[in-house]
């Protein structure tokens, strides 16, 4: 039995430098792309990224979504969604109504105008993303998808461990 190795595990700090560098690189990539997308959305359509993201969620839900659904999907706070929705209703992109079966619940949908405008933006948005990743081969893309899925699973597990 090797006492040293046991002692080591407890007393010596492990080397987590690689993971830290991975996190920083992930963050840099995302920040870079997010910034590009944000400024293009503003220049071309005078819309903010959070508004675009919210409309994207609703575009996939023709029946509408509750504010809680949106909050979970976008991984932002409830209060945040309340404000975002308020502004998008104000600008005529969203329709909001109280659920008949539960009067606490607000159901929101894209208006006709909102949907048309989103589709127009989304088409162009997709080409920006393709441009941003244009140096990656299809294999790179697949491999990144796979590894990020694994990373996501790992992060979710860690988050739920913490939540206890």
Q: Please pick, from the candidates 6, 8, 23, 83, the single residue that binds a second copy as defined by CB under 8 A.
A: 23
Residue ranges of alpha helices (H) inside 2-137 are: 3-11, 17-45, 49-59, 67-74, 78-90, 112-132
Binding pattern to a second copy, positions 66-105, x when CB under 8 A?
---------x------------------------------
Stretch of residues binding DNA (CB under 7 A), selected from 8-16, 21-29, 78-86, 121-129: 78-86
Contact status: 124 vs a second copy (CB under 8 A): no
- Give the sign of the dihedral formed by CA 51, CA 56, CA 61, CA 67: negative
Token pair, residue 135, equals: 């140096």
Listed in sequence order, the residues at least 6 apart from 87 whose beta carbon sits closer than 8 Å to its beta carbon are 51
| Interhelix angle 49-59/17-45, nearest 10 degrees | 90
What is the CA angle 7-11-17, rounded to 5? 120
**Footprint (CB under 7 A) of DNA, residues 30-69:** 35, 38-39, 42, 48-51, 66-69
Residue 28 binding DNA, by CB under 7 A: no
> Of these, 6, 7, 8, 22, which contacts a second copy (CB under 8 A)?
22
Contact partner, 148, from DNA, a second copy, none, Cβ < 5-8 Å per class = a second copy
List, in sequence order, the alpha helices (H) in 76-137. Answer: 78-90, 112-132
The residues of the shown chain that bind a second copy, judged by CB under 8 A, are 13-14, 16-23, 25-36, 40, 75, 123, 126-136, 138, 140-145, 147-159, 161-162
């Amino acid at each position: 039995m090797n006492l040293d190795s046991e002692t080591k595990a407890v007393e010596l700090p492990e080397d987590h430098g690689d993971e830290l560098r991975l996190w920083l690189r992930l963050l840099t990539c995302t920040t870079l792309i997010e910034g590009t997308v944000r400024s293009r959305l503003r220049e071309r359509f005078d819309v903010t990224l959070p508004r675009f993201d919210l409309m994207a969620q609703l575009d996939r839900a023709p029946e509408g979504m509750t504010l809680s659904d949106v909050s979970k999907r976008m991984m932002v706070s409830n209060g945040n969604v309340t404000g975002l929705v308020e502004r998008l209703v104000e600008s005529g992109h969203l329709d909001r109504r109280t659920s008949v079966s539960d009067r606490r619940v607000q159901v929101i949908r894209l208006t006709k105008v909102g949907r048309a405008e989103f589709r127009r933006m989304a088409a162009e948005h997709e080409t920006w993303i393709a441009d941003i990743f244009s140096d990656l081969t299809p294999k790179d893309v697949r491999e990144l998808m796979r590894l990020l899925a694994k990373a996501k699973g790992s992060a979710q597990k860690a988050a739920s461990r913490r939540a206890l």
